[in-house]
Structure 1
Amino acid sequence: MAATYRRPATGSDGTHERRFAPRTLPDQVAEELGAEIVSGRRKAGERLVELDLARDFGVSRGPIREAIRILERRRLVELLPRRGAYIKPVSLKSVADLFNVRTALSMLAVRTMATTPVESYIDTLARRCAELKAQVEPDDPIAFARTTTRAVKTIARGSGNQLLVELLTDLADQTVWTTIWKSPLDYQTPEIRRLSADLMASTLKAIRQRRPNAAVTHLGELLEGDRDRALATLSQIRGEAFDLSALAHVDETGAAPTTIAGSARTA
């Protein structure tokens, strides 16, 4: 059942509230709990007690039970027989790995689309680029991130590779990908949003010109910058050090990743 709820106040003055989009209650609870796990507000090994969560969220135990199952699919929670649900460790490296896998799939998609595109999706990508341009000045980084994700999905569909589309969908549905964007991790200034919008527009131009290497370069720069800024923000939120210089990146050929410190990028 689609519904919304208002979580009890949590701010020091007793007035802080969280509001959710009109989605199912289990989805809403899962997103909130997941965000708390990823940010470190809930620790690895902590037991999730349905009765306590139902009271905290102001819902019945049914939606809580379903939310926990959603978090299990996203690899954030482990369900142990006769013991209950426990939070699994979520390292910044595992988040980086998720970004890298998604980027590698996206590189294959954009190379294929720039070589033999499904023509109708070029127009769709152009609309996504226009949306990104319009979202540069408004201060809504999460909306910008959503549009960027939709643009990447358009590129996947435009590649004509249905398995690739399904893999990217599974990454969103069965990992922490959706959860980590519950809070603004990137695109927090107009300058960053403008750079990202320009890189997506350059990707579109390269696709139209059938220049796969250039398309890979532009989209790779966008997604790797996205990854690095998101991880830097998560590192700060969690109070954990993370070596960004050791992160892998894909070169313009879409070859196996190398480290930033050990290679030069090809323009």
Structure 2
Amino acid sequence: MNETPSSPGFQPLDREGLVQTVAKMLSKAIVTGQLAPGARLSESVVARELGVSRAPVREAARLLESSGLVTYEPNRGFFVRQVSAKAIADLYEFRIVIELAAVKRLIRTWNDDIHAALSAQLAEINRVATDDFDMLTQVEADLQFHRLLCSGSGNPKFLTVFDQIATETEFSIMVIGRLYDDPDRLAKTHEPVLEALCSGDETQAVDAMQYHIGEAQRLVTEQFRILEEGKTPQ
């Protein structure tokens, strides 16, 4: 078998690295709508277009299945997941459980480094909250704020679980096309959360986070119900 020469400055991808690379490419195609909900994920087509064998594509699809982006149907293959209002409501309900638990720990582990990281990310959310940036960039900035919350809690399990559902959250928002009419509103909704954390009051912080995610749950679920009724999202 002929070996593919590596590019200067790059290391050849091992099997795991190749699978992760394919998974990231497919994930981006799904989240951005290049692969629409319900579309079949043809292993042979993807493998041919990427210039790889079918095996890493199949393994990548399994990873996307575990992250909630695709489903597998016996004897038919992988399909981009069809998202429902109920599934989204369930997803956000799970996020509330995980992130409220993370916030309770975060209050106890709070320090200047965590404060600086969250403040910087809030500034980034505000920076991209304009029409000059696409929605994916804005959603990624939003989710990074929540990722930092889980990371700062000191319990790595919170971060692991959050990362497993973050892509599914991103996908659900991208399907409806927006969360708020004004992207600046997305940025502003994070400010009470950071203020509550800075107060050091656990009850205040939990209430702020519960309202923040609960309001997102209401808005996203409402938009999906509109889509299910065949109407144009408001």
- For the pair 1:207 / 2:197, whether they are aligned, the reply is yes
- 1:1-267 equivalence runs, <5 A: 24-33=21-30, 40-42=37-39, 48-51=41-44, 58-60=49-51, 62=54, 64-75=57-68, 76-78=70-72, 80=74, 83-87=75-79, 90-140=83-133, 141-172=135-166, 176-183=168-175, 184-190=177-183, 193-194=184-185, 196-239=186-229
Query: 1:14 is matched with which residue?
Result: none
Give the CA RMSD over aligned residues.
Answer: 3.3
Partners in 2 of 1:38 and 1:218 — Cα distance?
Answer: 36
Partners in 1 of 2:126 and 2:33 — Cα distance?
Answer: 31
Which amino acid in 2 is paired with 1:226? A
With structure 2 as the length reference, what TM-score do the two structures score? 0.70
| CA displacement, residues 145-194 of structure 1 (integer Å, 9 cap, x when unaligned) | 21111111111122222222222123336xx334334443313414xx33
CA spacing shift, 1:136–1:36, aligned 2, 3 Å: closer
Partners in 2 of 1:162 and 1:118 — Cα distance?
Answer: 17
Aligned residues of 1:34 and 1:71 also touching (Cα < 8 A): no
**Structure 2: where are the runs of 5+ without partners?**
1-19
CA spacing shift, 1:211–1:240, aligned 2, 3 Å: farther
Which amino acid in 1 is paired with 2:72? E
Shift of 1:115: 3.9
With structure 1 as the length reference, what TM-score do the two structures score? 0.62
Query: 1:10 is matched with which residue?
Result: none
Aligned residues of 2:61 and 2:78 also touching (Cα < 8 A): no
Shift of 1:97: 0.7
CA spacing shift, 1:33–1:125, aligned 2, 3 Å: closer
| CA displacement, residues 20-70 of structure 1 (integer Å, 9 cap, x when unaligned) | xxx93443234434776996454xxxx654345667xx4456364344323
Q: 3-state SS of the aligned residue for 2:190?
A: helix
Q: 3-state SS of the aligned residue for 2:101?
A: helix
**Structure 1: where are the runs of 5+ without partners?**
1-22, 242-267
Q: Which has the higher helix share?
A: 2
Higher relative contact order, chain-length normalized (CA < 8 Å, sep 6+)? 2
Q: 3-state SS of the aligned residue for 2:77?
A: strand
Aligned residues of 1:185 and 1:229 also touching (Cα < 8 A): no
